[in-house]
Amino acid sequence: MIRKALAMTALFALAATAVLAQKVAQTPPMGWNSWNYFAEKVTDKDIRDSADQIADSGMRDAGYVYVNIDDTWEGQRDANGVIQSNSKFPDMKALADYVHSKGLKLGIYSSPGPQTCAGYAGSYGHEEQDAKTWAAWGVDYVKYDLCSYIRIMRNAHPNDPAAQMLMMISAYDKMAKALHATGRPIVLSLCQYGWDAPWEWAPALGGNLWRTTGDINARWDRIYTILSQQEGLQKYAGPDGPYGGHWNDPDMLEVGNGNLSLAENRSHFSMWAMLSAPLLAGNDLPHMKPEIRDILINRDVIAIDQDQLGKQASRVYSEGEVDVWKKQLSGGAVAIAVLNAGSSRYSSHPFHLDLAKLGLHGTQQATDLWTGKPIELKNDMPIELGTHDILLVRIANPK
């Protein structure tokens, strides 16, 4: 604990010298990332096609702005050390211009280590140079993945976790300062898997979002595990940090991927909205089914995520296999999510809602955000939910 306290003291000394920058991400970032669908096969054409799809499908108008290239775009450095894109991405400036022409923004990926997770060139020793290059290209978002820097930390301090932590913080601080110094408003996404509680130190450095867990995948048990791990992090999310918004990131959306049921897709999206999480889709946009599109562009649910108050939901109570979450919204409104996290259907023995546990008294007039219909919430009312399905409501005037 003493070593961690010393590391945190050093952190705030670093943050005190940070360069002030234009505020960004004052609501959780929304967009699309290439990794979940394309992985290492992503190309310039894929990014252009995805930008077209986001613009044409209604996603852009619903708030999806960032088109993020994940790993494997990187080429070699030239004689002066300037990073080049590889043959899959022949002209990054032209690509950024194309994405911008669609009313969208371009994101990119790197690592504080010498190599990315896929073995391509990282930013180690070239932080300021890379930041200037990305800004010149027109990049608007950087995902910075710890990857090979882990070996550097462990080799430098094999038996000193606190010193390793300080090295990691310093590496992210270095890139944050480099990005801020460009003068371009660029979102900084920390991808270091929630190690050493980034929610405690990332906002001071200029991090706008930080991963809270390891990687997500398109399986319900993994999605629910990650959801459960967000409890207790509510106070660290919000719109008003020194560099803009600062958000807990439970990883990218798997909506439309794998073999998730329609109910699981709907619940996944609902709960990421309740968490004020970044909404970064990762599905196959050209072949998106209408029902998946309808989930991703549900503006009532998106409004829960993008609410200006920026409050992350809390799990108020659980009963059996059902969780009940509550989120404070601007104007005094609240959102309530009732989630059947289990494998059985509540039909013959429905769940009964306890309004008193939610701080609510008497019948509540609400809106079901998946049907758009009004609904009355009464104490002890039975709620029947299918496997992994959800009831998500907004109460404009709770009492």
Q: Which residues are catalytic?
A: 145, 215
CA distance 261 to 142: 32
DSSP string for 207-230: -SEEE-SS---S-HHHHHHHHHTT
Q: Are strands 66-68 and 105-110 parallel, antiparallel or unpaired?
A: parallel
User: Residues near 49 by Cβ (< 8 Å), separated by ≥ 6?
Assistant: 285, 286
The DSSP letter of residue 121 is: B
Cα 114 to the center of its chain, rounded Å: 25
Specify whether the CB–CB gap between 107 and 68 falls below 8 A: yes
User: Residues near 208 by Cβ (< 8 Å), separated by ≥ 6?
Assistant: 24, 25, 29, 187, 188, 189, 241, 243, 244, 245, 246, 247
CA distance 6 to 4: 5
Residue 184, Cβ neighbours under 10 Å: how many? 18
Question: Which residue carries 């991400």 as its tokens?
Answer: 25
Cα 173 to the center of its chain, rounded Å: 20
